Amino acid sequence: MKIRALFLVCCLSSQSVVSTPGRYDAIFNFGDSLSDTGNFVRTRALAFPVIRTLPYGETFFHHATGRCSDGRLVVDFIAEALGLPYLPPYLAVAKGPPVRTGVNFAVAGASAIDSSFFNAQGIVLWTNDSMSVQLGWFKNLKSSLCTTKHECDEYFKKSLFLVGEVGENDYNFPSSFGWTIKQLRHLVPQVVGAITRAVDNLIEEGAVDLMVSGQLPIGCFSLYLVLFQSANKSAYDPRTGCLKAYNAFAKYHNNYLKQELQVLREKYPHARIMYADYYGASISIYRTPKRYGFYGGTLSACCGGGGPYNLNKSAICGQPGSTVCKDPSAFANWDGVHFSESAYHHIAKGLIYGGFTYPPLLA
């Protein structure tokens, strides 16, 4: 409640627009743990059962919802800004009456590329619910939302489609299995291809407004900082403490994606394909953390079991041996793999109001 009050105070004073109801009637979201609002916990979720319990959710919902954070995610702040309800997870509503204000297909741990590609290389993912599976879910649901082509087109014209963030797991898992940056670079065309194929598919289904996300600065993530810890100071950006090579890799992916989105814009001139620059919207957190109230720091997790960056494989957040910081809003990094609500809020403001989505979301 306190956070919500702060949100209103901050936005009433700094922006004339708090929410823009009416622009969209629905949001459909595809992605991974950055935006999963409860699908993964409705699968067996064996790989990451901690998200079933507190402290996940402690800040805003006061119980675990299946979100990989202490509170709301970027997709929740986008829903608030558009005056729409938080998106229910597809697996919670698939069998019920149709939800006309939007549904979330994102699954924590999901890859952009089909999981069979990784399985064939001996890389075990958390989930097989990649982009193509999520698109299949969307097509299933579509028949309950509209019937004729005309009816569907009219409905989807007033819907916002969020594609990603997704793709990060396509790099996280191989990295954990020892792949080098050079090997990751060879994956980029396939990962971007899976993302743009999803965009193409959605436009063919009737989507007109789509917001497609780039990668975050993964060189700032505890996962990479722990995996590729270096005694060589020049591996780190002195301004942020992040791994330069992995941030450069994220930018490489993003540039590739932006080029491919341009191709899609030419193919579908009637569609409004927005690029959501998550990298740009989040890097300021690492450069000037105190400006955003991150007095606890940015690289070390609020919740964890000790060790470098407070990411301990034997005691991850929620497991015995882990502890949670007193004030998660003072930390950008929630559990070593995901952001805190406070960081998501900052990123969302950058994307919605701060010029980090182009063309802009609220035009």
Ligand X SMILES: *[C@@H]1O[C@H](CO)[C@@H](O)[C@H](O)[C@H]1NC(C)=O
Q: Residue for token digits 């403001």?
A: 349
119 binds ligand X (CB under 6 A): yes
Q: What is the 3-state secondary structure (H, E, C) of 155-204?
A: HHHCEEEEECCCCHHHHHHHHHCCCCHHHHHHHHHHHHHHHHHHHHHHHH
307 binds ligand X (CB under 6 A): yes
Q: Which residues pair with 159 in a beta bridge?
A: 26
Question: Could you tell me which of 344, 342, 350, 297 has the C-alpha nearest to residue 59?
Answer: 342
Query: How near is the Cβ of 116 to ligand X at its closest, in Å?
Result: 7
Specify whether 237 is catalytic.
no
**With respect to ligand X, which residue has the nearer C-beta, 305 or 350?**
305
Would you tell me the crossing angle of helices 131-145 and 181-205 to the nearest 10 degrees? 10
Rounded alpha-carbon distances, angstroms, from residue 245 to 15, 180, 215:
36, 11, 14
The 229-248 contact track toward ligand X, x by CB under 6 A, reads: ---x-xx-------------
CA torsion, ordered 35, 84, 270, 144, to nearest 10 deg: 80
**With respect to ligand X, which residue has the nearer C-beta, 146 or 226?**
226
Specify whether 335 is catalytic.
yes
Please pick, from the candidates 128, 132, 201, 284, the single residue that binds ligand X as defined by CB under 6 A: 128
Would you tell me the crossing angle of helices 244-267 and 278-287 to the nearest 10 degrees? 150
Specify whether 70 is catalytic.
no
180 binds ligand X (CB under 6 A): no
305 binds ligand X (CB under 6 A): yes
Tally of helices (H runs) and strands (E runs) in the chain: 12, 8
Query: How near is the Cβ of 285 to ligand X at its closest, in Å?
Result: 24
| Segment near ligand X (CB under 6 A); pick from 31-39, 174-182, 221-229, 302-310 | 302-310
Query: How near is the Cβ of 123 to ligand X at its closest, in Å?
Result: 11
Binding site for ligand X (CB under 6 A): 115, 119, 127-128, 232, 234-235, 305-307, 312, 314-315, 321
**What positions carry a catalytic annotation?**
33, 335, 338
